[in-house]
Chains A and B, each alone.
Chain A
Amino acid sequence: MRRKVVTIVCAVLAVICLASGGMHLSCSQGRGEIRVKGVFIEGQSGGDAETLNWILAADATSFSYVGHTLDSLAVYDNNFNIQLRCLAKDIEVSPDGLVYTITIRDDLRWSDGSPVTAEDYVYTLKNLMFSDWLNYPYKGDWQEEVNGEKVFVTPEVVNQTTFTITRKTVYPEFIYTLYDLTPYPKYIAQKYEGDAKAFTQAPEFNNLSYTGNLGPYRFKEWNRNDRFVVERNPDYYLGKDVGAPYFEQYIIKLFGTSATRQAALEAGDITYSAIEPEQVAKFKGLPDIKVYTVPTRGYTILAYNQRANGWERLRHKEVRQALSMAISKHAIAQNILLGFAEPAFSFIPKVSPWYTEEGVMKYGVDELHDKQKAAEILYQLGYGIKQADGTIKVTDKDGKLLQLVLVVNVGSKPAEDMAFFIRKELLSLGIETEIKLVPWPTLLRQYVMNAVPGSKQEPAYNNGPDAVSQEKWDLILMGFGTDPLAPSGSHVFFASDGGLNFMGYSNPQVDELFARARSKEALDKEARKKIYAELSRLLSEEQPVNFLAFHRANYGFRKNVMGIEPGVNMGYNYHLWYFE
């Protein structure tokens, strides 16, 4: 649930409490010397959370706030090793891949002292998340298609600390959805059952007053658009042996701009903040700040419109390959993204255990960054003229200037810079590109969402192959993200019926591979690896989008913060951080 939201919203540092099992060297050495002290202030910009009643939330910020007070079943460290949280042991999967057995710890307690039981988890699923009266938006995560119908998975209590979830169809990556699960207390939720309004306004759920020892912190205060404050939970189930967490309070302070947020870090008014790429060098030079650069799961793409209202040749992969060949990814990564990115060639990030470069076509770098070759390809397809000096100028079929429309979200300087760079690269082929800088909601509504002309369809992100967007476009620059552990989630972008396949890309082979990645065959990890390798190869060759760059993020901490392990899941052990 929470991970799915983060997949969509690129590069969000989900500060989710993790407890180590005390296995880190820094924990075992001198752990008893660490004193609880200080207030850790995290600076954030980009909007406040919507609600602490997480079952109603749509934004990643809400989940991240709640995550300070409520652990999920498990999380991952920077190497994607499982770190158990509320689980007593890892989830057991039956050999046929249909039954998941979940055993939770027996020392979890709600705020009233009563134990957290399997019944709470099953109740949360069956009576809340699957219910019609609450209309949990993401109940689809818990549904499967059986004989053309959508049915819910079946949770069942086995005993006080064990429950099962039974599926009718195999989906090997369903386990990652399970790891994210957090419960509501049945004894409180029952009071509001059936009454959506009362549940929405329930003070216990809006003030997180039930969380007990389930998180390293307890809710203290939330001043909208200002600060979210949690205080140390001395009863934290994972912290009691080592005395964690080590901050008296953890505060998320909201800033309206990245400039003021970074100024606060520099001045010492906050403890930690993300740092914009152009500020990294400056912060690295400051004596009181340490800067970490970490990989993310986000990447930027240049989408090619393969629907009827784009340049019709974009439906041909050779044309897409030629355009991708003309754009230098090294230049984007080094010059525009200031070195805090690396060229991308497919949809799986380098940090993913499923990543491979074998067979992947690397358009935009080395020998596949060749403008002459790109022009030659387009010329051979009838889109160009040979000039007197022998060079090729790309034109439309009638020999006239070829003009494309590139749409990008206004307000992001790197995105705007990338757009202008791409225009320059395409101009060297003779292609004129009109750049449209539009606000994000406009980009979504007028360019991304589509409907069949003349129909009564409500616009959606993929209304079928005949649907077109309200406005014409050829190229869109935007950010995507891939779950490193469950890349099959990216079928939404590249499968023919993918919910976010706004480009209108369709390839039965790709559809089949994604289906296999989500089938029984993929229970075997070696088989899954091969499927992903083939998907990476095929998509790199097909170029439904030009995979431009995988991003790296930069974070600054005050120098006295210890225990940080930089990586893609950097916050996983944040309950063990401390002030020197």
Chain B
Amino acid sequence: MRKSWLRDYIIKRLLYSIVIAWGILTITFILVRVGPSSPADKYLANLAAKGHDPAQVIAAIEARYGLDKPILQQYGEYMLNLLQGNWGWSLSTSMPVMELIKRHWIYSFQLILLSSLFAAVLGILIGIYSAVRQYTKTDYAFTFLSFIGISIPNFWLGVMLILIFSVKLGIFKTYYDTTLPLFSLANLKALVLPVITLGTGMLAAYVRYTRSAMLENLRKPFVVTARAKGLPEHVVIGKHVFRNALLPLVTIIMFDLGSIVFGGAYLTEIVFGIPGLGQVSFNAIFANDYPVVVAITLIGTLVVLLVNLTTDIIYTYLDPRIRYD
């Protein structure tokens, strides 16, 4: 019975997701095309320098990319191609958009996954320890370090890590080497500094959230009951208290996962020279590379929708009382 309502809920959400994604795709498509910028803008300065008529050249370049057609026609062609798996041609990198994304998504994915794991696992463990050992010196130390971790700009942290561990100590390379095999120790080593850079802020935040959630649940009557029943302390903390504290944590962690791709990861990619989707998206925006901007927006939308759906599903396992009808 549980499975049937959950299955129905998932199907409903997936259908909603398709509609939402289509809506956002449409809005983005229209916005980038009606804005004042154009992919031909990059020619403006050079054309003016040569004394040429920019308007005529820009019109010609836009015609080359089909941007001179009526917007509805462009939209129709784009949607038709999209359904056939053709996401268009990237104007700023001269390759198919699908190919561009295929080549670069893995760099962002591995960075985000490892950073999130690093931050979540360590953050939760330290948060639990801090809550259980509240007001001890260790708790104060972790609290202090958490505030530092939250405050440090990850851009600055990344550069500092490079200067210390790469330049001075020579332990790591100063940039991420994309020639390393993906599933190798060398690749893992190459990701150490980027993961620390991206994960530190999240780690610090998870320490605080976990500590707070744990403290809130430690005071509840069921904890007294569990102890009174004679359960070992690690069972009380790990199975009962932590499980209840996990709900808000899951929300925060999943939210970070959804937003980090085109947000925090970008700065880390810049510092370490990781050619991920963060860089791709920002470069596309500045270059007025419409097909890439629309594709990246679509991917971002789908990631967020999927993450939200996954979060909702996880809730039902964490708290069987939760039901979506």
The residue of chain B having its C-beta at the shortest distance from the C-beta of A205 within the complex is B94
Task: Note all chain A residues with C-beta closer than 8 A to B71.
Answer: none
The residue of chain B having its C-beta at the shortest distance from the C-beta of A480 within the complex is B49
Binds B, one of A70-78, A155-163, A240-248, A260-268: A260-268
B95 at the interface (CB under 8 A from A): yes
Q: Indicate which residue in B36, B47, B272 contacts A260 across the interface (CB closer than 8 Å).
A: B272
Contacts A4-B50, A47-B283 hold; do A226 and B60 have CB atoms under 8 A apart? no
The minimal Cβ–Cβ distance linking A469 to chain B, given in whole angstroms, is 14
Query: Would you call B49 and A7 a contact (CB within 8 A)?
Result: yes
Q: Indicate which residue in B48, B64, B174 contacts A461 across the interface (CB closer than 8 Å).
A: B48
| A197 to B91 Cα, complex, angstroms | 12
The minimal Cβ–Cβ distance linking B239 to chain A, given in whole angstroms, is 45
Task: Note all chain B residues with C-beta closer than 8 A to A500.
Answer: 45, 48-49
Contacts A225-B283, A227-B178, A263-B167 hold; do A50 and B93 have CB atoms under 8 A apart? yes
A576 at the interface (CB under 8 A from B): no
Q: Indicate which residue in A7, A50, A137, A444 contacts B94 across the interface (CB closer than 8 Å).
A: A50
A138 at the interface (CB under 8 A from B): yes
Binds A, one of B16-24, B146-154, B158-166: B158-166
5 A-B Cβ contacts within 8 A? A4-B50, A138-B46, A492-B49, A497-B51, A498-B51
Q: Indicate which residue in B44, B48, B61, B66 contacts A462 across the interface (CB closer than 8 Å).
A: B48
The residue of chain B having its C-beta at the shortest distance from the C-beta of A498 within the complex is B51
Task: Give the size range of B's interface with the partner.
Answer: 35 or more
Q: Mark B45-65, 1 if CB is under 8 A from A, else 0.
A: 111111110110100110110
Query: Would you call A137 and B174 a contact (CB within 8 A)?
Result: no
Query: Would you call A50 and B170 a contact (CB within 8 A)?
Result: no
Query: Would you call A4 and B167 a contact (CB within 8 A)?
Result: no
A79 at the interface (CB under 8 A from B): no
A347-393 with Cβ < 8 A to chain B? none
Query: Would you call A225 and B174 a contact (CB within 8 A)?
Result: no
A540 at the interface (CB under 8 A from B): no
A200 at the interface (CB under 8 A from B): yes
A141 at the interface (CB under 8 A from B): yes
Binds B, one of A110-118, A249-257, A397-405, A406-414: A249-257
Q: Mark B102-122, 1 if CB is under 8 A from A, else 0.
A: 011000000000000000000
Query: Would you call B46 and A257 a contact (CB within 8 A)?
Result: no
| A227 to B100 Cα, complex, angstroms | 14
A51 at the interface (CB under 8 A from B): yes
Binds A, one of B77-85, B198-206, B273-281, B296-304: B273-281
Task: Note all chain B residues with C-beta closer than 8 A to A226.
Answer: 178, 273, 275
| A499 to B46 Cα, complex, angstroms | 9
A339 at the interface (CB under 8 A from B): no
Query: Would you call A224 and B95 a contact (CB within 8 A)?
Result: yes
Contacts A51-B94, A255-B175, A257-B270 hold; do A224 and B103 have CB atoms under 8 A apart? yes
Query: Would you call B175 and A8 a contact (CB within 8 A)?
Result: no
| A14 to B109 Cα, complex, angstroms | 35
Excluding A135-B63, A226-B273, A499-B51, 8 further A-B contacts by CB distance (< 8 Å) are: A4-B49, A135-B64, A138-B47, A201-B96, A224-B103, A260-B271, A492-B49, A500-B45
